Structure 1
Amino acid sequence: MARGAVASAAVDSGINTVLDPRRKWYNNRRIIALNGWIVLLLITSSTNGYDGSMMNGLQSLPQWQNYFHHPGSSELGLLNAIQNIGGLAAYPFAPYLSDGIGRRPTVFIGAVIMTIATAIQGAAQSAGMFIGARLLIGFGLTFAANAAPMLVSEISYPRYRAQLTAAYNSLWNSGAIIAAWTTFGTFKLNSTWAWRIPSVLQGLPSVLQILLIWFVPESPRYLISKGKDEQALEILAYYHGDGNRDDPLVQYEFNEIKTAIDYDRTVASNVGWKSLFATSGNRKRMRIIIAIAFFSQWSGNGLASYYLNKILDDINITDSTTQLLINGVATIWSLLCGLCASALVDKLGRRFMFLFSGLGMLVTFTSQTIAFAQFQIHGQPAAAHTVIAFLFLYSAAYNPLIVVYTVEILPYPLRAKGFNIFNLTISLALIFNQYVNPIALARITWKYYVVYCCWLVVECIFLYFYVVETKNLTLEETAAIFDGEEATNEILGNGLNAAEHEKRVESIDEVENVKKT
């Protein structure tokens, strides 16, 4: 997809014409309630963020180090990577649960598994038990992390969909904050509870989801796909139209969703795993999704996320209290930056923010590498302080849009499967990072940073040529950017004659009629 293709996407969605300008989240109790349920889904990301920060903190705790006999680089790699290895075992099943039994039950199943696993983790009597619990956490997290972001995107009030879905990725840092400050607080406990308390608290978001998930509305898109049109219309009317089923916005959304799902299922045959790569439009989607998923973990962020203590050791900041304090402050900074970026997603646009993030990470990580090298070679204390400064600046440049962008460019029948591929790619990238990073840092220190500097250049080039603008579009309208006129050829190529095709086009144009009225 060439650069010229992106400009055609930068248009306002037709849905803006039927949005009531007086209906804001802060003056509408039903939207407030809906956003409250969405927060319950967003904390799924907190569980994941908690893990990375907790493992950073535990590695700085003498109590944890002593109990597990000071694990070496390869053992640390396994302890960090095992959660993602557990996630791999769940990937074949997650999309079938999300599409088969619904988004809510899938989140519930994941939360139950994670609650059990964190209890085992906190009660671990050996390294093997600790590793097994972390494997089970990854298994349960895969189910919740597959369904929760899709449900957020599919039930959000249209005006706030992009910001809320983008917040999912940003709230990774909320869990990281809790973990960082919990380990900082338990550091003074002269017993195994110094690491058992943080290990058990990882299950808190899952407990909340178990208790409250059945109050969250199910996805109208899931319900329509199962022939439950009345239930879908009722949910759209209650939360998006103040209970009015004839509200223009409700009717617009209902007709657009129904038409799009019918089109993908009956005309484009856009369903099964093969469909992810069967058409040119879908191949464009998957090329972007796989790339940004890999980029999200292979941009140098995996170093500070899981091995901050090793980095601080290498610049001669070895005091455990100082390390835990830096970890805690860094997570708060990252959360604030991520939420600010999420709030601007529809103002600045996806393409601008992707490019700004790529260039920002390249500049700050390269600067961090230079400062790291200066300390390693010359031992300058100022260089060590510069490394920390650029760690914070790098966090400010990190892109929170990968989840919202992935969800919105996938049509409904492929959303669960495509998002599963996205999460699988992240896990594979993480497993590689978590095994390789501690070993590489131990052996070649700052020279390992140069690999990521070079890779960030590749990322920027890819983002410049392939990221398509999708701001101010509905989930259904985004499909036209990738399929466009080519979809017509695909339809005719599937055996429909011209008359049947014209009839289908008229069906799809019903959405336009709703817009005009």
Structure 2
Amino acid sequence: MAPNTGITAGTSGGIDQSMLHTGKWWQHGYIIKLNLLLLVPLITSYANGFDGSMMNGLQSVPHWQAYFNHPKPEDLGLFNAIQSIGAFVAIPLSPYVADGLGRKAGILLGATIVMIGAVLQTATQNLGMFVGSRFLVGFGTTFAQMASPLLISEVAYPTHRAPLTSLYNSLWFSGSIVAAWTTFGTFRIDSDWSWRVPSALQGLSSVIQLLFVWFLPESPRWLINKGRDEQAKNIIARWHADGDISHPIVAFEYNEIKEALALESEAARINWLDLFRTPGNRRRMRIIIGIGVFSQWSGNGLISYYLFKVLDGIGITNPTDQTLINGILAIYNFIIAITASMNVERTGRRPLWIISTAGMLVSYAIITAMSATYENTQAVGAGRTLLAFVFIFNGFYAIAYTPLLVSYTVEILPFLIRAKGLAVMNFSVMGAIIFNQYTNPIALDALKWKYYLIYSCWLIFEFVYIWLWAAETKGRSLEETAALFDGEDAVSELTNRTGHDMAEGGHRVARGEKSPIDSHDEKLNLETSHREHAA
């Protein structure tokens, strides 16, 4: 699956263009250095993307199969699900590390745990050790995945935040590619190292992070929240103004952060019931939980973790062929995901959701038919057609669920419930993954091609669901997006009371004046507006 970061990318927003760099960004050494350093948190997705592809590849490696005594379907479910279980357990803990100890500390802790897990996985002596090491990999990855996108969005140069955060999501496939081609090369080794080498490489990104995380700037937002304002200003100046502390962008960003923190103090009063208290919020949760579950229950989990069993079912049993297909599929997915990410704003959200779901439905129906045909007739053409539609299915999945799962969730959530809404999405995704990883190998072994039929029917439900409730958010402000769910009347008073003051506040900040949100009266107005909005 494509990774789920839980973070929205910022843009240059209301910054006066005269504050930004002149010429091309690559003509400025400080921006180049910053972007190179941000590769450290960007590669966090590597370990998670590596996992699914590695498990696909290892299940085609004879020495791995022999070492674990040809695992039964229920054992395969445990092997795959335990990494997700580790990640699930860490979700409630990870925000406290990122917020309490800092973004860099979250990356450092996560990288350390993942590296320990990778070492133990490489040195595995028995089934219990293999399962435990994979739990550690999932547990550690969650800490790094919480902190990394936060750091990227809070440290990146203003005009680079959106593309860099989108790139973070898509780099999930970088690990997938390395794992797929590593297992393609190492399965020929006539020893246990045919599977131990890929296991060791799962910790590669963590080693890089442990070496270079010390050179990363800490989040100015986190520093200001901890009362370390001068340190935050110096970081903004160094990386966004080439060290010029008097540059207008420094004062603007500093005061913008202060405004956001003032607003977030209001968000602390929101409880989980507020996610379902109003009709508008219930509509949001219906979509968010839906796309979270659909991102894993569209049949993609079967292909992501059990491709070798799918290939076995159509007569492609040679390990060379299986690992080669796994490697090619990883590159193909990466290309589609990057292309889709760059065109989300141009195409719009609703068309992408509809095209993606409809395409998956048609593709999976053909996969089901070809699987049944091959099982009954052993026709080579049916097997080849099924393989072609495995690629087509993955392409349709990547055009919406990779770029939109996180960004669309963020767009439709009001600020005051955004963090908790994102947590709901994360839990729905991880819950669906764990269920799938236990169920898929057992059901596929018992039902054969008929199991595809279940997903084909489910995809019909998904298409109707998306058609009815996926709203278009392209080109809308946050206030206009809120109106889609709450109605114009419900947001008009909030917009009237705060919209003008917030816009004017941006101009004041740019002039170095005090933000209106710093005042006690403004806080009271925001509180009143929120209560009336919720009612």
- 1:158–1:474 Cα contact (<8 Å) kept: no
Q: Which moved more, 1:32-41 or 1:225-234?
A: 225-234
One-letter amino acid of the counterpart of residue 510, structure 1: G
> 1:201 maps to which residue?
201
Deviations 1:150-183 (A, max 9, x none): 3323333343333322222322211111111111
One-letter amino acid of the counterpart of residue 436, structure 1: T
| Shift of residue 488, structure 1, vs aligned partner | 7.3
- 1:261–1:413 Cα contact (<8 Å) kept: no
One-letter amino acid of the counterpart of residue 340, structure 1: T
Q: Which moved more, 1:196-205 or 1:255-264?
A: 255-264
Deviations 1:479-512 (A, max 9, x none): 8987886467689xxxxxxxxx969973664125
Query: Is 2:292 aligned against 1:289?
Result: no
Inter-CA distance 83–26: structure 2 relative to 1 (3 Å threshold): same
Q: Which moved more, 1:65-74 or 1:17-26?
A: 17-26
Inter-CA distance 230–353: structure 2 relative to 1 (3 Å threshold): farther
| Shift of residue 432, structure 1, vs aligned partner | 0.8
Q: What TM-score does the superposition give when structure 1 sets the normalisation length?
A: 0.85
Inter-CA distance 409–42: structure 2 relative to 1 (3 Å threshold): farther
> 2:388 maps to which residue?
389
- 2:251–2:510 Cα contact (<8 Å) kept: no
- CA distance in 2 between counterparts of 1:320 and 1:287 reads 43
- 2:35–2:156 Cα contact (<8 Å) kept: yes
> 2:313 maps to which residue?
314
1:76-87 alignment, distance < 5 Å:
76-87=76-87
- 1:149–1:403 Cα contact (<8 Å) kept: no
> 1:353 maps to which residue?
352
| Shift of residue 351, structure 1, vs aligned partner | 3.8
- 2:25–2:31 Cα contact (<8 Å) kept: yes
Query: Is 2:129 aligned against 1:139?
Result: no
Q: Which moved more, 1:385-394 or 1:362-371?
A: 362-371
| Shift of residue 210, structure 1, vs aligned partner | 1.5
- CA distance in 2 between counterparts of 1:181 and 1:230 reads 47
- 2:479–2:491 Cα contact (<8 Å) kept: no
> 1:215 maps to which residue?
215
| Shift of residue 118, structure 1, vs aligned partner | 0.9
Inter-CA distance 122–449: structure 2 relative to 1 (3 Å threshold): same
> 1:423 maps to which residue?
426
Give the alignment's Cα RMSD to 1 decimal: 3.4
- CA distance in 2 between counterparts of 1:155 and 1:477 reads 28
Query: Is 2:324 aligned against 1:325?
Result: yes
> 2:460 maps to which residue?
457
One-letter amino acid of the counterpart of residue 147, structure 2: A
Q: Which moved more, 1:234-243 or 1:332-341?
A: 234-243
> 2:366 maps to which residue?
367
Bigger relative contact order (CA 8 A; separation at least 6): 1
- 1:259–1:507 Cα contact (<8 Å) kept: no
- CA distance in 2 between counterparts of 1:351 and 1:218 reads 37
Flag structure 1 segments of 5+ consecutive residues without an equivalent.
Answer: 1-11, 492-500
- CA distance in 2 between counterparts of 1:130 and 1:239 reads 43
Inter-CA distance 95–456: structure 2 relative to 1 (3 Å threshold): same
- CA distance in 2 between counterparts of 1:394 and 1:74 reads 26
Percent identity over the alignment? Answer: 49
Q: Which moved more, 1:66-75 or 1:400-409?
A: 400-409
One-letter amino acid of the counterpart of residue 150, structure 1: L
- CA distance in 1 between counterparts of 2:438 and 2:222 reads 38
- 2:361–2:460 Cα contact (<8 Å) kept: yes
> 2:109 maps to which residue?
109
Q: Which moved more, 1:162-171 or 1:81-90?
A: 162-171
Query: Is 2:338 aligned against 1:343?
Result: no
- 1:115–1:207 Cα contact (<8 Å) kept: yes
> 2:506 maps to which residue?
511
- 1:17–1:515 Cα contact (<8 Å) kept: no
| Shift of residue 217, structure 1, vs aligned partner | 2.7
- CA distance in 1 between counterparts of 2:511 and 2:353 reads 34
Inter-CA distance 435–473: structure 2 relative to 1 (3 Å threshold): same
Q: Secondary structure at the match of 2:43?
A: helix
Q: Which moved more, 1:163-172 or 1:188-197?
A: 163-172
| Shift of residue 406, structure 1, vs aligned partner | 3.9
- CA distance in 2 between counterparts of 1:349 and 1:246 reads 40
> 1:63 maps to which residue?
63
Inter-CA distance 231–407: structure 2 relative to 1 (3 Å threshold): farther
Q: What TM-score does the superposition give when structure 2 sets the normalisation length?
A: 0.82
One-letter amino acid of the counterpart of residue 135, structure 2: L
Query: Is 2:153 aligned against 1:149?
Result: no
